[in-house]
Amino acid sequence: EELGQTVIVLNIEDGRAKGSARSVEAVDIFEALDPHRDLFIAFGGHAGAAGMTLEVEKLSDLSQVLEDYVREKGADAGGKNKLNLDEELDLETLSLETVKSFERLAPFGMDNQKPVFYIKDFHVESARTMGAGNAHLKLKISKGEASFEVVAFGQGRWATEFAQTKNLELAVTLSVNQWNGQTALQLMMVDARVEGVQLFNIRGKNAVLPEGVPVLDFSEEVPDLATSDAVVVKTIPEDITLLKAIFQEQHFSAVYFKNDIDKAYYLTGYGTREQFAKLYKTIYQFPEFDIRYKLKDLATYLNIQQILLVKMIQVFEELGFVTIKDGVMTVNKEAPKREIAESQIYQNLKQTVKNQEMMALGTVQEMYNFLME
């Protein structure tokens, strides 16, 4: 089910291979193997599954039989089975009586499948993991005054996505949950789908990156994203155009925003007029200032974050207020008066602060729209 492949699993013991097969819709495993019962000590099954025992030396013959069948039928041995939905459910009218009415169709089996229903236009109130190792998923969904729990076995790893996904549609079966003398209707998830680009907020120290999704970390080499329909934005480059270019070249269906920022200028600001004035007044008193060794002390004295102070000094250098050679800064006391806003470094820093504010504080939709501009 997970990979959409026909699979045979056999356990070998005392020269015999014994096990079972599960098949996708495109391959009728019983039709493929039934004409070759001479291969087996024991064999039985139906279109979607089979059990078998055979001698180990006949395994290569079994493999050839399957290859010949797929080639002859022109079947695609891969591809997930199509899911047939019986009816769309209205959550606002769903009740225990609904379940009881469909239970009259039992017993369910290969030739009498349990009804699978389609639900949409609901709100996901919560999504949490449960069971050993947080393996399973439990959703609480609502529509109007109606509220239900949905259980998805083996899907615990998707809790973050289900909690934040918009336009979620589910295929479910109906069941009754009895616990501590209470009886409640419960939905069992069979499958799910979403429409449009899905955006997930995983900002925060304790957030876990999703498995198997390429990660954009601009402190490392950027991965090849040509064949990927999902991406994790782990770090934000100081030059946001690098990230924008990737988003405008690719068409992702899922984006996870982690957004770690190495130099958080959105927290320091881009320097006020008073801060620039105080910096200039301080360094004007010294003919030479060794910023290699005294930068930290200067930042402490001025009460300015060190990363911002470095930018402010670069602005002064660009405007000709200071010169820096071999780490020693000298004030140019004959420099003509100029506005800080004339500096390109200052303008770039101002834009960086604005960009970082968006990526640190904006909603996922605001961030996505910003990157696609």
Give the pLDDT of residue 158.
84
Distance CA 5, CA 220 (A): 35
Average pLDDT over residues 323-330: 94
Q: Is the pLDDT of residue 208 over 90?
A: no
Helix 273-283 to helix 306-318 angle (10° resolution) is: 80
Q: What is the CA radius of gyration of the chain?
A: 32
- Side-chain-facing half-sphere of 95: CA atoms under 13 Å: 3
Average pLDDT over residues 203-216: 87
Structure tokens at 144: 């109007």
Question: Cα dihedral sign for 313, 314, 317, 318?
Answer: negative
- Residue linked to tokens 């336009």: 167
Give the pLDDT of residue 78.
54
Tell me the pLDDT band of 258, cut-offs 50, 70 and 90. Answer: very high
Average pLDDT, whole number, for the chain? 89
Instruction: For each of the domains in the chain, give its residue range(s) and CATH number, in order of start.
Output: 7-73 (3.10.310.30), 87-194 (2.40.50.460), 198-262 (no CATH), 266-351 (1.10.10.10)
- Taking a C-beta distance cutoff of 8 angstroms, is the pair 144, 156 a contact? no
Q: Is the pLDDT of residue 190 over 80?
A: yes
Q: What are phi and psi of 190, to 5 degrees?
A: -100, -40
Which tens digit of pLDDT belongs to each residue from 40-68? 999 999 988 999 999 999 999 999 999 88
Structure tokens at 281: 């007044």
Tell me the pLDDT band of 251, cut-offs 50, 70 and 90. Answer: confident
Average pLDDT over residues 134-139: 91
- Taking a C-beta distance cutoff of 8 angstroms, is the pair 233, 243 a contact? yes
Q: Which segments of the chain does DSSP mark as H helices, in order?
A: 29-33, 59-73, 96-103, 159-164, 241-249, 265-268, 273-283, 291-302, 306-318, 344-361, 364-372
Share of the chain above pLDDT 90, in %: 55
- Taking a C-beta distance cutoff of 8 angstroms, is the pair 151, 138 a contact? yes
- Taking a C-beta distance cutoff of 8 angstroms, is the pair 345, 311 a contact? yes
Q: What are phi and psi of 158, to 5 degrees?
A: -100, 15
**Entry pTM:** 0.68
Distance CA 258, CA 236 (A): 9
Tell me the pLDDT band of 183, cut-offs 50, 70 and 90. Answer: confident
Give the pLDDT of residue 81.
60
Q: Is the pLDDT of residue 76 over 60?
A: no
Question: Cα dihedral sign for 107, 113, 115, 121?
Answer: positive
Distance CA 268, CA 304 (A): 8
Distance CA 79, CA 73 (A): 15
**Residue type for 142, please?**
S
- Taking a C-beta distance cutoff of 8 angstroms, is the pair 86, 115 a contact? yes
Structure tokens at 364: 């996922």
Residue 232, number of CB atoms within 10 A of its CB? 20
- Taking a C-beta distance cutoff of 8 angstroms, is the pair 138, 149 a contact? yes
